[in-house]
Amino acid sequence: MLTTKFDPLKDKMLQVLDPKGKVVDAKLEPKIDDETLIKMYETMLLGRTADTKALQYQRQGRMLTYAPIKGQEAAQVGVAAALGKEDWFVPAFREMAALLYKGAPLKQLYLYWYGNEEGNHFDPDLKILPISVPIASQINHAAGIAYASKIQKKEEVTVAYVGDGGTSHGEFHEGVNFGAVFNLPMITVIQNNQFAISTPRSVQSKAKNLATKAVGYGIPGIVVDGNDPLAMYIATVEARERALKGDGPTLIEAVTYRLGPHTTSDDPTIYRDEKDFKDAETKDPLIRFKQYLIDKKLWSDEKDEEKIKEFTDYSNKIFKEVEETGLVDLDDVFDYQYETLPPHIEEQRQRAKERGGK
Amino acid sequence: MAVMTILGAINHTLDQQMEKDDSIVLLGEDVGFEGGVFRVTKGLQQKYGKDRSIDTPLAEAAIIGSSIGMAMNGLKPISEMQFSGFMFDGYNQLVSHAARMRNRTRGTYNLPMVVRMPYGGGIRALEHHSESLEVLFAHIPGLKLVIPSTPYDAKGLLASAIADPDPVIFFEPKRLYRAFKQEVPEKDYKVEIGKARVVQKGDDITVVAWGALMPEAIKAIKLLEDQDISVELIDLRTIAPWDRKTVVESVKKTGRFLVVHEAYTSFGPGAEMISVINEQAFLYLEAPPTRLGGADITIPLPKGEHHFIITPEQIADKIKDVVKF
Ligand SMILES: Cc1ncc(C[n+]2csc(CCOP(=O)(O)OP(=O)(O)O)c2C)c(N)n1
């Protein structure tokens, strides 16, 4: 078991690919078919490109506050690739690449950050929960979904995401503990990107690593190189098998680094150590995964450039659609409050219309 | 005198009070090193050290709960909820303990603590960043709630909140943080909690507003300039306990009442005020006392927020309706 071999109490970290894309231990290398490997990389690249574009749109005053994922693509795609279509995905708010892999259309992800509720209106077959802004609260939803899977004997696993800051929150404890007590088919992934806005990881916990928290809940935990998609993949595969066998939840800490600002309203140069940042750039998940695919003759630099151009055009096209259709109608802000709108709120809607609201 | 924004006045007041009183500590998410996401506490950790300007773990129950302990043991904590929409995990501590400690311990422990939080819409923010949750605090016995609308009041009310022996919730109208500047005296002064300010005298209608809606109410009155309607405008400044005397006296004079708030209409702050006016000024009324509040819908994300935000035109129309009743 990976979770015993890479014991978080001994501060071990699971890694398959080193920052240069070389396999560190051939026994750990997963057998993933070529098509899936390419899909994983392409999704990371689309995530990166769409992220870069979103920042640009924001700087041009066309997009609202946006939370970038740069540097965290492997921590997301490695997990999403190990899931089945039947599995649930419970995001925090910085998981665009995982959502893309799970099948969420870029248009919706953009719509959300454009300030339109339609961005959370996912096709239910995707089994994606809406973006959850109140930190860590979503873990309890994941526990409830997993509880329902268990007693209804549905063969499915629920994955919840949370940040390193989120692990300090009461709701993190309550949700992970609930999953553990009822032995639920649930995986909690901590994206440890080293910061909660300006607050460094060291302020959140005195523990050496965050996966050790699993010990207190009586469940397996593991620290994974979150910039290594293959390590994230195998850790998730194992956790998922355990969950489906009825052996309960797993806590995965993905060690990564937020290469961008917290959101577009943030200036990370105020608080981050530039040496750490430069070092983190050399551990960029895209660099290592690209090299791995090139070594496997599945990719090339030319192909990379071609794809970046394709994804840039695609992002531009999608964002243009968003801008053309992204305003929210008056009816939209009333229609989803209740199944049946109480009469006094219906009156408020009518009055807003009389005032010329559309 | 120095010219300051609301944000600048809050920063200046925290500085002035911390300088004067070693027992004051600041705590919250990102408040220390970077001075908060809005930079309200900027420079204070650098000046007063990490022990007195604390970057906490991301945990609102810990922030408010530990503030209670600090206040019981000789400190005067001023905590920050990054946005009022994120106070819910700390709300248990506020309602279950902060509001009750004095009563529970028969006065042995009072809690000189302030909880600051930016509130309100209109800044094109993400979900949970735009709510106006006055009533969730005003409804709770044992808590006070103040909301400045000007730099001058921000300083005076914050100084009073810090000096107050009981827990005070200090709402900051983030839409106005940097919206305008005003001359603010350098000297330490207070604006009394529970005292409204008559912004403009008038005879035909009493309009009550506060915080981020004050400038909108003032604009509304400008829109009515050629209408021959004389408006008495009151900035409530404290929501709990609100200045019934000033408002009721005003309504007795004008015979008409309109309260404007961004908080949801149903069970909103206006409902309480209208009840009191009915109880205390009924025989003076020329028109039903009226409220203009936010629609009873989840405040929309920015691309739909204009359906929710209260405009000066709406306020002006409502004033006309009440006067012409
Ligand atoms: C309960 C709650 N408190 C405060 C906030 C404001 N806030 C938004 S993101 C954030 C930091 C989150 O840090 P982390 O959990 O590490 O995730 P990251 O942003 O790094 O992905 C904070 C404090 C919030 N969204 N929810």
> Which SS3 state, helix, strand or coil, does residue B42 take?
coil
**B120 and B249 share one domain:** no
Q: Which of B85, B265, B303 sits opposite A328 (nearest CB)?
A: B303
pLDDT for residue A75 is more than 90:
yes
Overall number of domains in chain B: 2
Residue at B34 is within a domain = yes
- CA A258 to centroid of ligand 1, rounded, Å: 13
Tell me, yes or no, whether B222 and B122 share the same domain: no
Residues B260 and B301 in one domain: yes
**Which amino acid is present at A349?**
R
Chain B's closest residue to A132, CA to CA, is B127
By residue count, chain A amounts to 358
Let me know if residue B224 belongs to a domain.
Answer: yes
State the pLDDT at residue A2: 98
pLDDT, tens digit (0-9, with 9 covering 90-100), for A255-271: 999 999 999 999 999 99
Q: Which residues pair with A162 in a beta bridge?
A: A190
Looking at the structure, do residues A260 and A358 belong to the same domain, yes or no?
Answer: no
Q: Which atom of ligand 1 is nearest to the CA of A163?
A: 15
- Is the same domain home to A236 and A335? no
Residues B283 and B171 in one domain: no
Q: Answer whether A117 sits within 8 Å of B304, measured CB to CB.
A: yes
| The B144-146 sheet, strands edge to edge | B53-55, B24-28, B76-80, B114-119, B168-173, B144-146, B238-240
Q: Per residue in A95-131, pLDDT tens?
A: 999 999 999 999 999 999 999 999 999 999 999 999 9
B64 and B164 belong to one structural domain: yes
Q: B302 and B257 share a domain? A: yes
Distance CA B249, CA B38 (A): 38
Predicted complex ipTM exceeds 0.90: yes
B-proximal residues of A, 266-285, CB under 8 Å: 266, 270-271
Cα dist from A337 to B35, B296, B297, B298, whole Å: 37, 9, 7, 7
pLDDT of residue A188: 98
Which of B31, B38, B58 best probes binding to A when mutated, by most A CB atoms within 10 angstroms?
A: B58
Q: From the CB of residue B320, how many other CB atoms can be counted at a distance below 10 Å? A: 16
B190 lies in some domain: no
Enumerate the active-site residues of A.
Answer: 258, 262, 271
The answer on A320 and A337 residing in a single domain is no
Look up residue A158 and give its two tokens: 């629920």
Together in a domain, A213 and A340:
no
How far apart are the C-alpha atoms of B286 and B307, rounded to whole Å? 31
Decide which of B163, B184, B205 is a domain's last residue: B184
User: Model-level pTM?
Assistant: 0.97
- A residues 321-340 near B, CB within 8 Å? 326-330, 332-334, 337
**Chain A environment of B55 (Cβ under 8 Å):** 198-199, 203
| Residue B1 confidence (pLDDT) | 82
Tell me what pLDDT residue B301 has. 96
Arithmetic mean of pLDDT over chain A: 97
> Does the Cβ of A262 fall within 6 Å of ligand 1?
yes
Q: Which of B12, B97, B128, B129 is catalytic?
A: B129
Residues A229 and A350 in one domain: no
Could you list the residue range(s) of the whole structural domain that residue B266 is in? 197-323
Same domain, B161 and B33: yes
- Gap between the Cα atoms of A45 and A303, Å rounded: 12
* B107-116: pLDDT as tens digits: 999 999 999 9
| Same domain as B109, residue B236 | no
Quote the CA–CA distance of A80 and A98 in Å, as a whole number: 6
Is any ligand 1 atom within 6 A of the Cβ of residue A134? Answer: yes
Q: Which atom of ligand 1 is nearest to the CA of A193?
A: 20
CA end-to-end span of chain B: 45
Ligand 1 centroid, distance to A201 Cα (angstroms) = 12
What is the chain B residue with the closest CA to A265? B37
CATH code of residue A64:
3.40.50.970
Check whether residue A292 and residue A350 sit in a common domain. Answer: no
The tokens for A196 are 């909660």
Same domain, A260 and A317: yes
Residue A162 belongs to domain spanning: 2-327
Residue B264 within a domain = yes
All residue ranges of chain B with pLDDT < 50 are none
Residue of A69, A197, A201, A253 to test ligand 1 pocket, by largest number of atoms within 8 Å of CB: A197
The answer to whether residue B189 is domain-embedded is: no
Determine whether the shortest distance from the Cβ of A196 to ligand 1 is under 6 A.
yes
Quick one: tokens of A159?
A: 């994955």
| pLDDT surpassing 90 at residue A357 | no
- CA A78/CA A93 separation, integer angstroms: 17
Q: What angle do CA B216, B221, B222 make, to 5 degrees?
A: 95
Do A221 and A358 share a domain, yes or no?
Answer: no
Find tokens 């305003």 and name the residue.
A327
In this structure, the answer to whether residues A192 and A255 fall within a common structural domain is yes
From the candidates B27, B30, B128, B133, which should be mutated to test the interface with A, based on the most A CB atoms within 10 A? Answer: B30
CA distances from A152 to A133, A357, B237 (A): 29, 46, 54
Give tens-digit pLDDT for A132-156.
Answer: 999 999 999 999 999 999 999 999 9
Asked if A168 is an interface residue toward chain B (Cβ–Cβ < 8 A), one would say yes
Residues A204 and A350 in one domain: no
Average pLDDT for A61-66: 94
Contact check, Cβ <8 Å, A168/B59: yes
Nearest to A330 among B33, B296, B307 (CB): B307
Q: Are residues A231 and A145 in the same domain?
A: yes
The residue-averaged pLDDT of A163-181 equals 98
Q: Is the separation of the CB atoms in B13 and B45 below 8 Å?
A: no
CATH assignment of the domain containing B245: 3.40.50.920
Q: What is the 3-state secondary structure (H, E, C) of chain A?
A: CHHHHCCHHHCCCECCECCCCCECCHHHCCCCCHHHHHHHHHHHHHHHHHHHHHHHHHHCCCCCCCCCCCCCHHHHHHHHCCCCCCCEEECCCCCHHHHHHHCCCHHHHHHHHHCCHHHHCCCHHHCECCCCCCCCCHHHHHHHHHHHHHHCCCCCCEEEEEECHHHHCHHHHHHHHHHHHCCCCEEEEEEECCEECCEEHHHHCCCCCCCCHHHHHCCCEEEEECCCHHHHHHHHHHHHHHHHHCCCCEEEEEECCCCCCCCCCCCHHHCCCHHHHHHHHHCCHHHHHHHHHHHCCCCCHHHHHHHHHHHHHHHHHHHHHHHHHCCCCHHHHHHCCCCCCCHHHHHHHHHHHHCCCC
B180 and B53 in a common domain:
yes
Q: How far is CA B312 from CA A253, B224, B231, in A?
A: 50, 10, 14
Question: Residue B7: what pLDDT?
Answer: 98
Q: Is A170 close to B59, i.e. CB distance below 8 A? A: yes
Do A356 and A315 sit in the same domain of this protein? no
Last-in-domain residue among B184, B207, B232? B184
- The reply to whether B192 falls in a domain is no
| Ligand 1 pocket check for A69: Cβ under 6 Å | no
Q: CB A228: neighbour CB atoms within 10 A?
A: 31
Domain of B66: which CATH number? 3.40.50.970
Greatest Cα pair distance, chain B, in angstroms, is: 59
Same structural domain, B63 and B174? yes
Option in A116, A198, A337 nearest B297 (CB): A337
Position A26 confidence tier, pLDDT thresholds 50, 70, 90: very high
Distance, CA of A295 to CA of A312 (rounded, Å): 25
Tell me whether strands A199-200 and A195-196 are parallel, antiparallel or unpaired. Answer: antiparallel
